[in-house]
Structure 1
Amino acid sequence: MAKAKPVKKATAATGQIRLIGGQWRGRKLPVLNSEGLRPTTDRIKETLFNWLMFDIRQSHCLDLFAGSGSLGFEALSRGAAEVVLIEKDASVAKQLVQNLASLPAAPGQVIHKDALAFLQTPARAFDVVFLDPPFHQQLLPQACQLLEANGWLSEDAQIYIEREQTSPLLLPLNWRLLKDKQAGQVSYQLYQREAVQ
């Protein structure tokens, strides 16, 4: 009988992310080496937060596939009123909790849960949602539909999507494209939700 392959777990912190703007600009936070974990590059992050420059302060943000927490922590550094980070890997979630605790009085919360399961719990509306799931797992279409259908988005919420270029994208009809860029094999967009008539 063939032996089952061991599941690859997150190991000790072997990398780091850097906050590039706001009150903790320049701060480096440790990141675990975990399969599928792919922090957003500084260049893409800078572009995104330039797009959100006038909207991130005092906003309520959801970092749905948090991973390294790069986007959620950047939002906190730039004055978000609240950031909720969702991460299903227990070791990665624990590292997020430690990193959050190192940012004095940061209004953040880490929830250790599968993102799609989280979106099927009782909802409350967020102003900005970051969607940067692991590549090649076809998680985006269902996440987008659940966000819209289950009441997770404020009336004019902004949704950031980062994905591999070949990934199909089926979006709710009331999401309007605001920005669209590519960097190598990565495609990233910012959408705005429009109220359904």
Structure 2
Amino acid sequence: MRKSKPKSNPKQSGFIRLISGKHKGRKLPVHDVEGLRPTTDRMKETVFNWLMQDVRDAKVLDCFAGAGSLGFEAISRFAAHGTFIELDRKAATQLTANSTLLKLGNVEVINQDALTVLANNPQQQQYDLVFIDPPFRKNLVSPCCALLESSHWLSEEALIYVEFEQDAQPDIPSNWKIKKEKQAGQVICRLYQR
């Protein structure tokens, strides 16, 4: 006799999977939140191939963390510390729960608007690797990049990964140089170095 499937939690929309490192293969629950677009495994693999030599011991900032797909992947690949900024309360609560699930002592979750947080000086904390993957159609990339630079959030040669919709042309600080670029459907993915 077949067992019936347990009913799924209607608030939970699925999982993200960590693809490499100390938590390789772990699945972390993700809640259904408007505007949340977890980075696909294929795109995540591309990004972390670009970053292969640069993740270990890096201080990581995930500006619009959402499901934490990029930030948790960096932590799994031995980044020193991760700061996840997420406005949505449910998503931020899930980030904290997933950090606890993985027994991580090196992750901080900030449940606030990213631009508000970035407008303040980070009290001398500077980041080596930054992810900017905001909800689309909200014009968040340009102000986020400007604040990272003007409020001194970045280490001297920081790497900044940015995702934006194809028809957007964000303003990028003039001292950031493109290292890698890829288009995936309607999404442009770029890696900059300061």
Pair 1:44 & 2:43 matched: yes
SS in 2 for 1:144: helix
State the distance in 2 between where 1:100 and 1:148 align: 28
1:142 match: 143
How many Å separate the matches in 1 of 2:104 and 2:131? 22
The answer on whether the counterparts of 2:22 and 2:76 sit within 8 Å (CA) in structure 1 is yes
Residue in 1 that maps onto 2:7: none
Distance in 1 (CA, whole Å) between partners of 2:82 and 2:149 is 19
Q: Distance in 2 between matches of 1:121 and 1:150?
A: 7
Give the structure 2 partner of residue 80 of structure 1: 79
- Note the C-alpha offset of 1:167: 1.2
Amino acid at match of 2:186: Q
Work out the number of aligned pairs and report it: 183
Q: Which residue of 1 aligns with 2:57?
A: 58
Which residue of the partner structure matches residue 118 of structure 1? 117
Structure 2 stretches lacking a partner, 5+ long: 1-9
Q: How much does 1:106 deviate?
A: 4.3
1:29-53 Cα offsets, whole Å, 9 max, x none, are: 0101011000011111000001111
Structure 1 CA distance for aligned equivalents of residues 52 and 106 of structure 2 = 19
Structure 1 length as normaliser, TM-score? 0.91
Q: Distance in 2 between matches of 1:164 and 1:106?
A: 34
* Alignment partners' CA distance in 1, 2:87 and 2:191: 24
Structure 1, unaligned runs of 5 or more: 1-10
Partner Cα separation in structure 2 for residue 32 and residue 76 of structure 1: 20
Match of 2:4 in 1: none
State TM-score, norm by structure 2.
0.92
**1:78-107 residue CA offsets vs partner (Å, 9 max, x unmatched):** 000000000011111001100010112341
The 2-side partners of 1:75 and 1:45 are apart by: 10
| 1:1-197 alignment, distance < 5 Å | 12-123=11-122, 124-193=125-194
1:63-82 per-position Cα deviation (integer Å, ceiling 9, x unaligned): 00000100000001000000
